Every structure is written in structure tokens, then in C-alpha cells.
Chain A
Amino acid sequence: MNIDTPGDTIILGTKGGLRIPSTDCWNGSVGGPMKIYHEVCGLQTETVVPIINDHGPSLFDRKIRSFLDACKNGTPAPVPSSQIIYNQAILDGIAKSAKVGREVEIVIPEI
């Protein structure tokens, strides 16, 4: 695309909005300190969420470790399919809607 970024991520709520600075790809961490836009005593206020310094194991080590722990302990998957099916439904829905050129209903299959 011919632009640096199509925009930060924003989450709007009735009491506050959150801005998450963009990165090329959200495969690691946030692109910079996040900001909460809210009101304090009637004044529009912005609160910067500081970056947490993370000196722990790499994200990939954590990904593998959390998976192994689930296998060993019989605990739920760290990133469960019951959630990611909705992520996949959106990707699939975009492809299907793009193909037919209009809005489509998302149908989640019975498991």
C-alpha cells in the first residue's frame, strides 16, 4: 500500500477510548505507549500507559512453554480454538464477501 500505516488501533468505549500505536505487524508488542482518552472531573484527560519493560523469556519460549504445560497438566490450551474459530470466521467472511461483492452473514459451524 502507498501509506506508512492505515492507522493506529483504537478501541472506543462509553467512558474512555484507547489508542494503541501502530506497528508493521502485531506479531509481538505494541508500537509505543498506549493512551487512554477519558474525562477526569469533567476535563478531557489523556493518560499514557507506560511501556512495561519485559526482560523475561522470549515470546516464542513462552508460547512453547505454555503449550507444554497444558499438555503435561491437562489444563486448557493457552490459545484455544474456541476463540480462534471467530478470528477464522472473520478472515473467511472477508474472503467470501469480497468474492460476492456484498455483505455476508457469518455462520459458525456446529462442532
Chain B
Amino acid sequence: MAEKMDAKLDYNQKKEEVVVDANRKLRIGIIGCGWIADSHIDSYKRMPDVEIVAGCDLIPGKAAAFFKKNGVEGVKTDYASHKEMLDDESLQLDAVSICTYNRQHAEPAIYALNKGVHVMLEKPFTVTIEEAAEVMKAEKASGKVLSIGFQPRLDPNMQMIKKIVDSGELGQIYYIQTGGGRRRGIPTPFGTSFIEDKTAGLGALADIGCYSLDMVLNAIGYPKPLTVTGYKSDFFGKDPNYVGYGAHHEYADLFGVDDFAAAFVRLEGGIILDFRIA
């Protein structure tokens, strides 16, 4: 079998030519101009059928500086919040990227969908299941596109996992172990939005746990989860001398999420998911 699958196969050899109608442009806004917004604007700039027309951030001046840094001109940024931007009908927005911290995923997504705007929402979906359900209600009522930012879905090696499961090569799936994590990886390079409860809501679980879950659940067709026994801890995050904080000993006081979590989950179809993340 190994011989048959050519290791040198170039993904692009199989790529269908995608024809983009550059005459039909989409008017795009960006909500939240922090770290990940850079990757969104970088990609939008490469798309021939996109006009980036607006952006906003809760921190005054941050959006304007963001577009300047990224060399995009003529973008309206004088908005105090996502609401003001989405209320500005002169923008005629088609779609927004929501690049805010986790606790600010649901509200802007609902507001945008209610305004009839398509939404690219960064992962994790939300913090709570209740928020996710509210977003989905707005999505349903709007008939607009809501996509969640899981880019590994588009990696050909990741896609092989699903192909292998679907091929029947593994037979009936009954047990999955997944998770992963970083030995020293509490993310504070750009401040504390990943470690404070009021911004992040969840720690390693939402930062990287959701990726491993998506990898395996997508492979097996996303069966419904039934029950869970979960555990969370914060021994490292709460330690003022945690090496990753450097001189920022005060981060320990601000830390309000998990730096480790483990769970035993029962999924529909009699499948067990054994999960741990740090």
C-alpha cells in the first residue's frame, strides 16, 4: 500500500483551477485588529475579488494603525465598536472576519448575522454552548454563511485522516485518544487576552484543544457527544514564577482559565474519546 501512494505527489498537481470572478467584488470588514487579524488581512489582500472597506477595535486607534501597518488604504476605522461599524449602512458590507478574543465571538457574530452580513468567525466557536446556540439561531434566521476558522481542515495531510477512516481501512471506530499541547506554552506574547477569564473564558481548551477535537471528530463524521467527565487545572498559570511570564509576575493574578485539561467523553455510536490538552 505504501508504494502505491506516491510520497512525491504534489497536492497542486491535483488542484482544480479555481476561477475567481474579480468583477464581482465582496466588501469586507474586520472586527478585532489583533494578532490573528494579520493573517486574515494578508489573505484578503491576495484575493482579486475583495475590497477591504472597514475595520474596528475596542482599543481606540488600533484599527487605523493595523491597516496602516498592513499597507491598506481608504479603510474606514472610526468606530468605537463592532456595532457602530455594522450600523454604518454606507459601507454596504458583504462579509466580516471576526478576530476578537473568545468572549467577544458570540455578540459580534449575532449582530453581523442580524444585519445580513456573512461571517468568518475565528475558532473557538464561542466560550459556552449557550452562546453557540444563539449564534446559530441568528445564522438560521439570516440565511447567511457562518464559517468557523479551522484552517487545518484544508491541509491535505489532515484530510488524509478522514479519507483513511472513510475508506473503511480501520473498520468500526470505537476509541480515540487525542489532545496534545505545549510543554511551556501559556500564550502571552501580545498581552493577556488568552489568560484572563473576561477575555478568553477558556484557556488551553479553547486555544488549542478545539483543534485536536476538530481533527478527530471531523474524521469520524462529527458524532454527537453524550456525556463527559472533565478536569481542569491552573498550577502553572497561577504561579508568579512561571518561567514563561518572564518579569510579568502579575500575570499569575490575572490568570483565570485552564492551563491543562483532561476528559473522558462518550460519543454517539459507542465511541470513546480520551482527551488531554495543555
Interface residues of A (CB under 8 A from B): 1-18, 20, 22-30, 34, 36, 38, 47-56, 58-72, 76-98, 102-111
Contacts and interface: CB of A to CB of B under 8 A. Distances in A.
A109 B129 CA distance: 8
A24 B185 contact: yes
A94 B170 contact: no
Interface of B: 1-2, 5-12, 15, 18, 21, 24, 26, 39-40, 42-44, 46-47, 49-50, 94-95, 97, 118, 120, 124-130, 132-133, 135-137, 139-140, 145-158, 160-161, 164-165, 168-183, 185, 202, 205-206, 208-220, 222-232, 236, 258-261, 263, 265, 273, 275-278
Going nearest first, the 7 A-B pairs with the smallest beta carbon separation are A15-B171, A13-B170, A94-B230, A50-B7, A14-B171, A97-B230, A93-B228
B222 A83 contact: yes
B40 A25 contact: no
A50 to B, nearest CB: 4
Given A9-B180, A59-B151, A67-B145, A1 B278 contact: yes
Given A1-B183, A11-B161, A25-B182, 5 more contacts: A9-B177, A28-B152, A29-B152, A60-B43, A76-B145
B186 to A, nearest CB: 11
B120 A54 contact: no
B77 to A, nearest CB: 20
Contacts of B126: 88
Nearest to B219: A11
For A38, A68, A82, A83, the residue with the greatest tally of chain B CB atoms inside 10 Å of its CB is A68
B164 A49 contact: yes
Contacts of A107: 129
Contacts of B223: 86
A23 B181 CA distance: 7
B180 A97 contact: no
Given A52-B11, A78-B147, A64 B43 contact: yes
Contacts of B120: 63-64, 67
Contacts of B150: 63, 79, 84
Contacts of A53: 7-11
Contacts of A60: 39-40, 42-43, 151
Contacts of A55: 10-12
B147 A67 contact: yes
Contacts of B178: 9-10
Given A60-B42, A63-B149, A81-B139, A95 B205 contact: yes
Contact of A24 (B151, B164, B182): B182
21 contacts: A2-B183, A10-B177, A13-B165, A22-B180, A29-B152, A34-B161, A54-B155, A55-B11, A63-B149, A64-B120, A68-B26, A68-B47, A71-B26, A80-B148, A81-B132, A88-B124, A88-B125, A90-B275, A91-B202, A92-B127, A107-B129
A63 B164 contact: no
Contact of B173 (A13, A24, A97): A13
Contacts of A63: 43, 120, 149-151, 154
Contact of B225 (A22, A67, A106): A106
A1 B152 contact: no
A48 B199 CA distance: 42
Contact of B180 (A25, A82, A85): A25
